[in-house]
A = this chain, B = another copy of it.
Amino acid sequence: MSDAQRNVVIVGASAAGLRCASRLVRLKPDWTVKIVEARKAFSYGACGMPYVLSGDIPDLETLHKTADGDVRDEAYFAQVKGVEVLTGQAAVGIDVEERYLEVNDAEGNETSLPYDDLVLATGAWPRHLPGQPDHPRVVTFHTPADVKPLHEGLARGKIGKAVIIGAGFLGCELAEAFTALWGAEVTLVEAGDAPLPGLLDPEIAAHVARHLADNDVELRCNARVAGIDADDKGVTVRIEGGEPATGDVAVVAVGVEPAVELAVAAGVELGPTGAVAVDDRLATSVPGIWAVGDVAETRHVVTGDPVHIPLGSLANRMGRTLANVLAGGADRFPPVAGASALKVFDLNVAATGLTRRAAAARGDAPRSVWISAHDTADYWPESKEIFLQLTYLPDTGRVIGVQAVGEGEVAKRADVATQLLARGATLADFAHLEHAYSPPYAPALEPLAVAAMVAENQEAGLEALSPSELCGGLEIMDVRHPSESEERSFDLKNTAGIPLDTLRDRIDDVDLRPWVVVCERGPRSAEAVRLLQTREVTAVYLGGGLRWREMATPEASESKT
């Protein structure tokens, strides 16, 4: 960029656009920076909207304020940030040769805004289902205007039963919002075989499914929507080859699509994800046009492939990076791991990197390990459980993904893992990760490091059976204390009880049959497998132990004796 005075026009007063503008006017106080925004209301913390519905956050206005209580409106951005936001102005076309943006106001008056640099921060639209009817009972949940009808419907008892289509981030958050505060019945319809299919592998997703069931959400997986019928009385969501789901309202929460209309019309190239392709300076294929936020692609830190990850945190950072780039700085937007977290009732869910499934679909041969751990020292009275999966490529030892779930602290583990993934870390790097140890905050051995050690052991021959693969027909050795086996029995036959502290003495009598060794959390059964292997007995242990299985199996709770 030249240092001469420039004229920057930004389309979209979203997180990315506002951030870019605010920083640019600081870096280049003499430049002209304008934001064009079609809506009148803007700068709502959209990620907080489900929590308005759930009552965790008192009202939408809370999401529209700074931490100091200032309302983020045109006057605020003008007075405090020095940024001009033109609301009610829809960008309708770009003349890429002459460099001006065509804008229509609500009355249909057209104006042209010349630019030196045009920033596309147009965000994303909620995806619709094919043939989705245009009816007030069939809604999406994307803008502040979407909150009020649902809130009123729930508050007035007009929505007593809802069908939510899509068990992704939003679908899971809405399922909680509908049931926890309002006591509505919810059917959560998911085309994939488990909730959060883009984020989680089945072993972790099973915890979410169990927790949704425990909280009275009817989760229907492998359920493809054949069509939606809506009338004055309610909605019927037809399911391919299954019973229809009915309710007072259907919320379509099947993801978002980048709002690329303006970009496409101007000849800006899209990437393979359908979002705008950008380089690491956030430049598009058209000179003078840039893209940030949910409309733009990023690159995945593990695969290097283009990905579309619409997250407010990335949008914010892209906006800042572009301001630095436009101002002539050397800043570049680095690849992303897709670190994510969400709360589903009392369950914390976090993940980063690739799922094992996604890696396998790319032709890799990933493997996983599973651990059941405590988030603090196990003896700390407020210690809570977490269940963590680590996925890696055996040929290089590179860790490609971490997923964790539980009542305990899991977002921390995703954040730490993200820094390591971004730097190509191997199992050895994870095994050596340093953490701030103190009984109230972490165990002496950080669960992320333990998982890496378990994976190293797996590569040395100590193999874990996936917690979702324990089933009848296997020969099971339970190495827990007899009292534990009695108190917390499980539903599978063919189980021999050989407590670990007796195994060493009895080992010569153990059959050579292939065993699946189980204990409460994993370490003791792994220890037993080691011992068995010294006598040539074939054995694997149950990854994550019986505790994982119990917490991830809806029926298991009823089979307790």
Contacts and interface: CB of A to CB of B under 8 A. Distances in A.
Contacts of A379: 45, 48, 57, 62-63, 65
A438 B343 contact: yes
A362 interface: no
Interface in A418-434: 418-420, 422-423, 428, 431-434
Interface stretch (A86-94, A230-238, A387-395, A520-528): A520-528
Contacts of A502: 79
A442 B416 CA distance: 14
A180 B328 CA distance: 56
B434 A418 contact: yes
A56 B381 contact: yes
Nearest to A479: B80
A414 B437 contact: no
A418 B448 CA distance: 14
A530 B377 CA distance: 46
Interface stretch (A4-12, A244-252, A308-316): A308-316
B411 A441 contact: yes
A12 B320 CA distance: 53
Interface in A515-556: 519-521, 523-524, 527, 530-531, 534
Nearest to A462: B26
Interface in A42-75: 45, 47-48, 51, 56-57, 62-63, 65-68, 70, 75
A374 B67 CA distance: 9
Interface in A498-523: 500-502, 504, 519-521, 523
Given A48-B379, A80-B500, A501-B76, A437 B29 contact: no
Nearest to A19: B445
Given A56-B381, A62-B379, A68-B524, A501 B79 contact: yes
B436 A377 contact: no
Contacts of A531: 82
Nearest to A421: B434
Contact of A437 (B79, B312, B431, B441): B312
Contact of A419 (B56, B420, B527): B420
Q: How many residues of A sit at the interface, in one of the four size bands?
A: 35 or more
Interface string A27-47: 001000000000000000101
Contact of A340 (B76, B412, B438): B438
A141 B530 CA distance: 38
A339 B436 CA distance: 5
A378 interface: yes
A418 to B, nearest CB: 5
A179 to B, nearest CB: 17
Interface in A80-135: 80-82
Nearest to A50: B439
A378 B453 contact: no
A67 B378 contact: yes
| Copies of this chain, whole number | 2
Interface in A364-411: 374, 377-381, 409, 411
Interface stretch (A143-151, A261-269, A330-338): A330-338
Nearest to A317: B432
Interface string A166-193: 0000000000000000000000000000
A340 B435 CA distance: 7
B432 A415 contact: no
A331 B428 contact: yes
A176 to B, nearest CB: 11
Interface centre among A317, A420, A431 (most CB of B within 10 A): A317
Nearest to A336: B434
A228 to B, nearest CB: 29
Contacts of A521: 67-68
A415 B438 contact: no
